[in-house]
């Protein structure tokens, strides 16, 4: 070792002389980021998938388009579990189709069932107009679960 004058008379100081400081800032940032991501997902999801009313209307439109094309399998797959248990694929048109041309209206909330939607379908046959009302429920997507002629 060399002897002689040193730049500093004291030895090196220990790097961590005091008690450690706890910084919760990282945890707060992670928590705040998670909350913001959850809020963003709630806001963006209806924009991507559409509202329950839009999904219900689209399901009924696809249902009647499939029946017009003779695609009973697609129409049958758009029925809820209870309706599929009650009807066979070849019985769907007899239960849901009226004479005339269907015009699918907008969906509204079913006042008697929370979560279900009612979609009005107007049937025009020459000068005669009749309406049917389809109940649409969410069973892993919008599914048709019955029809009535009184709203």
Q: Which residues of 102-131 are buried (b: 16+ CB within 10 A; e: fewer)?
A: bebeebeebeeeeebbbbbbebeeeeeeee
Q: Is residue 127 part of a domain?
A: yes
Q: Is residue 13 part of a domain?
A: no
Q: Is residue 107 part of a domain?
A: yes
pLDDT tens-digit profile of 20-37? 677 788 889 999 999 999
Q: Over range 133-150, report the average pLDDT.
A: 87
Total domains in the chain come to 1
Q: Is residue 35 part of a domain?
A: no
The CATH number assigned to the domain holding 103 equals: 3.10.450
With contact defined as beta carbons under 8 Å apart, do 139 and 80 qualify?
yes
Domain with 81 in it: 51-148
**39 pLDDT more than 90:** yes
pLDDT value, residue 63? 92
- Between 9-13, 73-77, 140-144, the lowest mean confidence (pLDDT) is in 9-13
pTM of the model: 0.67
Q: Is residue 115 part of a domain?
A: yes
Higher pLDDT pick, 117 / 150: 117
Name the percent of the chain lying above pLDDT 90: 26
Q: Is residue 10 part of a domain?
A: no
Q: Is residue 106 part of a domain?
A: yes
pLDDT tens-digit profile of 62-101? 999 999 998 999 999 999 999 999 999 888 888 988 888 8
């Amino acid at each position: 070792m060399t002897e002689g004058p040193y730049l500093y008379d004291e030895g090196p100081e220990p790097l961590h002389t005091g008690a450690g400081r706890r910084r919760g800032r990282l945890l707060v940032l992670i928590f705040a980021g998670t909350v913001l991501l959850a809020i963003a997902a709630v806001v963006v999801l209806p924009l991507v998938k559409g509202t329950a009313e839009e999904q219900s209307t689209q399901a009924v439109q696809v249902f009647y388009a499939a029946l017009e094309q003779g695609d009973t399998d697609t129409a049958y797959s758009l029925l809820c579990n209870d309706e599929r248990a009650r009807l066979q694929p070849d019985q769907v048109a007899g239960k849901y189709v009226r004479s005339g041309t269907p015009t699918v209206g907008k969906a509204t909330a079913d006042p008697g069932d929370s979560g279900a939607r009612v979609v009005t379908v107007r049937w025009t046959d020459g000068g005669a107009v009749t309406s049917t009302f389809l109940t649409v429920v969410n069973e892993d997507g919008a599914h048709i679960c019955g029809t009535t002629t009184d709203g």
